Copies of this chain bind each other. A is one copy, B any other.
């Protein structure tokens, strides 16, 4: 009758991640374990594991004996994330410009092609997944566990920040800029590649409204001053 199919921890994480990135889950809402266990048709233990991973990625905050809540990053945190991201992505690109295999090149170009398709067909879910996935793929191609893990963390937080502070309806991180970066890497042109990447990230950040007045709900004294 009912599908007995248990959902893997990774699938749960991805589902929640997407829901947050697509703004279906707003910052502050509580992710109750039993509720999620029912939705995904698994035991609470697996949900707890998924929540721990989401905490690792900085998407949810787990308060002891209270539960897990979707994070709301502050404007300053958003700036910090992009600051570090500029550095790490630069490091990634520099490493890639030292040479990539033919297989890697194909993978990168194929990914950009997928992004193009998602963009023309306007499938929001795919656009979000793939545009973050591009930067993750770059890090993965380097082959350093550390850079990959760091990038994973940064992408997750960037997605949350984008979901919270995006001021346009169009999703940024378009495939054209990605394509240019790939070709610069293929041509081993480190200067051009790092420059393009810096410009790309500036572009992404510029579409966010980080001048917004801070939410001072948590600090009544400051709010009423």
Q: Which residues of A are at the interface with B, using a C-beta cutoff of 8 A?
A: 45, 49, 52-53, 56, 58, 73-74, 76-77, 80-81, 83-84, 87-88, 91, 144-147, 149-150, 153, 157
In the complex where A80-B91, A91-B83, A91-B84 touch, is A146 in contact with B52 (Cβ < 8 A)?
Answer: no
* Nearest Cβ on chain B to A25's Cβ, whole angstroms: 19
Known: A80-B144, A84-B91, A150-B150. 20 other contacts (CB 8 A): A45-B45, A52-B52, A58-B145, A58-B146, A58-B149, A73-B146, A76-B144, A77-B144, A77-B145, A77-B146, A80-B146, A80-B147, A83-B91, A84-B146, A84-B147, A87-B87, A87-B88, A149-B153, A150-B153, A153-B153
CB distance from A119 to the nearest CB of B (A): 29
| Chain B residues whose CB sits within 8 angstroms of the CB of A73 once the complex forms | 145-146
Bound form: Cα–Cα A25–B45 in Å: 29
Report the bound CA distance from A81 to B56 in whole Å: 18
Interface centre among A49, A56, A81, A146 (most CB of B within 10 A): A146
* Beta-carbon nearest neighbor of A145 in chain B: B77
A81 contact set on B, CB distance < 8 A: 146
CA distance A145 to B83 in the complex (A): 14
